Every structure is written in structure tokens, then in C-alpha cells.
Amino acid sequence: MKAVFLIAINFVREQRWPILVLLLWVLLLAFLGLATDAARQREDLLFIFKQVAVYVVAFSVFFGSSAIYNDRRSRRILSVLSKSVGRQQYLSGLVIGITLACAIYCFALGLTGSWTLGQAGFQVSEVWFLMLCLIAACALAGTVALMFSTFLNPFFAAGATAAVMGIPALLSYTSGLPRLSYAVPVYSLAAAVLNSSFQSHESVTWLPIALAIGETLMFWLLSARIFSYVDIAVSVE
Amino acid sequence: MIMAGVLEFNGVTKEYRTLLGRRRVRALDSFTLDVQVGEIFGFLGPNGAGKTTAIHLAMGFMMPTHGSGRLLGKPFGDKKSRRRVGFLPENIALYPRRAEPLVRFYGALSGLGGDVLRHRSREVLERVGLQEDSTRNVSRFSRGMLQRVGLAQAIVNDPELLILDEPTSALDPVARVGVRELLLQARQEGKTIFLSSHLLSEVELICDRVAVLHHGKLVRLGRTADLLEGAERMQVVARGVVASCFTGAIVRNGSIVFSVPAAQQRETLERVWSLGGEVVSVNPERRSLEEIFLEVIAEPHERHIA
């Protein structure tokens, strides 16, 4: 377990610059909270909050699709896997690392959102629930991307992830059956954030969060299975 | 005395396939080798011979197409056996961190912790001559310094078996001597070293046994001393005869020196005596590893591209 956390923390450390760039958006929201009249411009603040929130899902896909590729291309993976570290542990470290990187962002956004939207009348507990939805969505999106990246290059892995996340949402939209989007609930969870408002407090159920956690475990197991057959020392170019 | 093999390849074949699997390249072909406890084993071969493939198979980075192997008694890929192995890859790539925390990171991945890890990290950095630079970020290191950090991370867990892929390729002569001493000291401590290198003079100096790989096949294997002192030719030193009587003879310190095939040794000596000369010495001709290596790879070998 120690090795898994070491790899996870190392991943976050390696991704510190993209995380810091992401955090600039949170800073923008905080700046708007300071510079504007929160009560009068609350809809604008909520719009910015939603926009900034969903960026992290896209970033989780980028993190997931490039994590193994970067380590294989730089050959750093050889020094890690030459130690007493199994491939499954390595992937677990990456999944936790991706989730941790996104959780850092969600925590900062949750704090800023609680402060800016809270003073405009938005329920603080809902802000944190939405952050939980986002973290679950990021964990699932990142793990799906990681699974594809075990055998595809980052560009195709990101595309395949977008397809896996988008097809259930598209089917749900065309068939009119909202539950279909729960098949891979990244869209449902992101939609919970995008549809939030000051007026309605119809909270999203815990079901998509539970499904996302379950599917994250499933895709993690699948990626570990695929990765156990991959020749990692072979060039990824 | 029968000694246990620490690294065994049993008829290992590895084929690489292109994306659509139309073309196959056989990097390793029915490769069998047994490395014994406590020896420094030199693994030689020209570029593309399959040395790195063999090492990567042993470390479990890839799976053999056919055959099997064992690392410290466990099948290739077993992570518990890797805890007792130190590995330095060719062209080491490391995370951009300060040297000491980086070595600690790799030590922790090997299962070390606490004061032992802290003490070991400092000790190995000192052994590779980087104690002064332990607080510097490795991203600012020269290639030779990176290689030494790579060596430090390989030995931080005090491994029983060291697998080194070109460990001295980027080092200056002084650092190279340091690494050589480190390896000899490791052997004295009972450790086994599997050394892949292009620096034949290094291999000649420290390796107990060598194997030469060419086009994925093992083409020569033996004790270094036996290979260097091949019994095929004998070197004869004689005096009291003129050099022109013997093909290829040269005059050195008043004596003539020439070599003859071992089968002609007796008649050559009789000829020296019949010419009124005196035989000073007759010894197996010692060749350099470089000569043997060039001779071996010049022999025709089948190349496997399907």
C-alpha cells in the first residue's frame, strides 16, 4: 500500500504545474467574489463557478490518458517497476494520483464556491455535494482514460474516453430515458453541477456517485488486466 | 560444488510484432543462460543483439514469446524477487527531484523505510561520489552524474543481484574506476552482478564469465580467463635463431616472438632446436576480449526477420 501512495503522491508532484494552472481559475472566481456585489451578480458568479467546475473533468481525462505514456516515453517507468512494485500497484497509484490531483482542485473550488456563492444565497452543503459529484466523475473519467492509455496513445485514449462517456449521454438524450446516462455516469454527474441553480434545490441522488465509484473500480481492474500483458519497455511512439 | 542459479533463461524467445502483426522480428532466439551466485557476469553483443531485451524479460517488463526464466528462484515478473534485485537501465531517466529524496523514493518503493532508508540513501550517494550534490535537483545533473544517481538507486536496497545495463557508458575514467571498485566490492560481499556493457576492457578486467549474444542467439559463453587464453594458438619466445626463419616472428629484447597453432607446437620447438636455438618460453596466446568479440560477431549468423 505504501508503494501505491508513493506513486500517487509522485504523480501529483509531477502534475503540479497543470494543477496550479487550473487553480488560477479558482483564483479568478475568488477575485470576482471580492470585486463584485455577490448578491446582485449571483447568476454570473454561479455561471463562472459551473464553467470552472467542469474543466476539471476534462483535465482528469488528460491526466489519465497521458500518465502511462509519459512514464513510458521518458523510460522512468523502468526504474519504478524494477522495484518491488506490481503493475496493478502502479496503476492504483496513478488512479489515486489522478483523483487526488482533481480533489485538490475540487477542494479549492469548494472553499471558494462556499464563500462566493454562499454569501449570494447558495446552500453551502450543496456546493460540497457538487464537489463530491465532480470528484466521482473525475475518478471515473480518469480511470477510463487510463484504461485506454494502456494500449492506445494519449490522443486516441482521450478520444475513446470521450466516446465512452458521451455515448450513454447521447442515447439518454435521443431516447428520452435519463437513466441511460447512468451507464457511465460522468455526464450525469457533470450535469448535476451544470444544472444547479439558486432556485431549485432538487439534489442529485447518490446513485450516480455510487455507480461512478463502482465503475471506477471495474475500469481499474480491467486496466490492470490489460496492462499485465503489455510490453512496457517497447517504445510507445 | 553446485551453485544455485540466480538468473536463468530457459529457451527464451522474444519476437516483436508490428502494429498489424505482419512483420515479426526475433530479438531473442531460444536463449538459455544460467548466472551463478557471487559471480560478475559480462553480457556482450553488438547493438541490436538482444541484450536489453533479455534484461527486460528478466525484470518482467515484457513477456517471452516462448520459454521461461527465473530470477532469484522465482519466475520472471515476480515482484517479491525484485525486492532483492538492483537494476540500472540503459540511459537512465529519473524524476526531476533533489538527489537524496529521489534515492529515498526508490528505496521506499523497494520496501525500505525510516532511519534505515535515510541512512542507506546517504551511504549510497557517498559511495557513488555524490554526497556533495545530494541536495541538488537531478534535472541539472550531467549525464555522468545521472548515471551515478541511477547506480545509487539500484543499490539502495542492498540487492543480492545487480543487473546493470551499460553502467559506465556515460562516465569519465575516474568515475569508471569508482564503479569498477564498487562492483568488485559487491562481489566480495557475495553479491551477483549481471553486467551488460560495450566497454570490453572493463568486462575483461572484472568479469568472471562472459556471454556473447549476436542476432538474438548465444554465440559464445565461458570463463573470461579461458576465452582470453584460448588454447588454439601458442606464443613461442626463442633466442639464438633468426626471425626470418619463422612466419610473423618479431624481435623483442634480443629474443624472437611468434605464434603457432597449438597442433604445430611440437614440430616448431624441434625446428628451433634444430636451428641451434633455445626455447625461452611457450605459453597459450592471450588475446583481448575485443579480438574475440570481433571474431565472434564476424562469423555468419542467421538473422530472424519473418
pLDDT digits (tens, 9 = 90+) for A100-124: 999 999 999 999 988 888 887 888 8
**Nearest neighbour of A81 by CB, restricted to B16, B61, B108:** B61
CB pairs below 8 Å between A and B: how many? 72
Does the pLDDT at position A39 exceed 80?
no
**How many structural domains does chain A have?**
1
Q: What is B1-84+159-229+287-306's CATH number?
A: 3.40.50.300
Q: For residue A14, is it within any domain? A: yes
Window 73-92 of A, Cβ < 8 Å to B = 74-76, 78-86
Residues of chain B with pLDDT under 50: 1-2, 303-306
- In angstroms, the separation between the Cα of residue A115 and the nearest Cα of chain B is 36
Q: Does B194 touch chain A (CB under 8 A)?
A: no
The pLDDT of residue B1: 44
Distance from the A1 Cα atom to the nearest Cα atom in chain B, whole angstroms: 10
Average pLDDT, chain A: 88
Would you state the pLDDT for residue B19? 66
In DSSP notation, chain B reads ----EEEEEEEEEEEEE-TTS--EEEEEEEEEEEEETT-EEEEE--TTSSHHHHHHHHTTSS--SEEEEEETTEETT-HHHHTTEEEE-TT----SSBHHHHHHHHHHHTT--HHHHHHHHHHHHHHTT-GGGTTSBGGGS-HHHHHHHHHHHHHTT--SEEEEESTTTT--HHHHHHHHHHHHHHHHTT-EEEEE-S-HHHHHHH-SEEEEEETTEEEEEEEHHHHHT-TTEEEEEEESS-GGGSTT-EEETTEEEEEEEGGGHHHHHHHHHHTT-EEEEEEEPP--HHHHHHHHHHS-----B-
Tell which wins on pLDDT, A199 or A130.
A130
Which has the higher per-residue pLDDT, A224 or A43?
Answer: A224
Residue A237 covered by a domain: no
50-69 in B: which are within 8 Å (CB) of A?
52, 56, 59-63
> What is the predicted pLDDT for the residue at A61?
95
Residue A169 has pLDDT above 60, yes or no: yes
Query: What residue in B sits closest to A11 (Cα-Cα)?
Result: B95
**Banded pLDDT at A204 (limits 50, 70, 90):** low
- A85 vs B94: CB contact, 8 Å cut-off? no
Position A174 scores a pLDDT of: 86
With CB atoms and an 8 Å threshold, state whether A79 touches B93: yes
Sign, CA dihedral A21-A22-A28-A33, equals negative
Nearest CA in chain B to A152: B19
Identify any residues that bridge with B239 across adjacent strands, giving them in sequence order.
Answer: B278
Structural domain harbouring A204: 2-227
Q: What is the pLDDT of residue B3?
A: 53
What does the pLDDT read at residue B230?
66
pLDDT at A150: 92
Q: Is A225 on the interface with B (CB under 8 A)?
A: no
Domain boundaries, chain B: 1-84+159-229+287-306, 95-154, 234-285
**Nearest in space to A126 (alpha carbons), one of A115, A114, A109:** A114
For residue A120, the model assigns a pLDDT of: 77
pLDDT greater than 60 at residue A48: yes
Residue A57 has pLDDT above 90, yes or no: yes
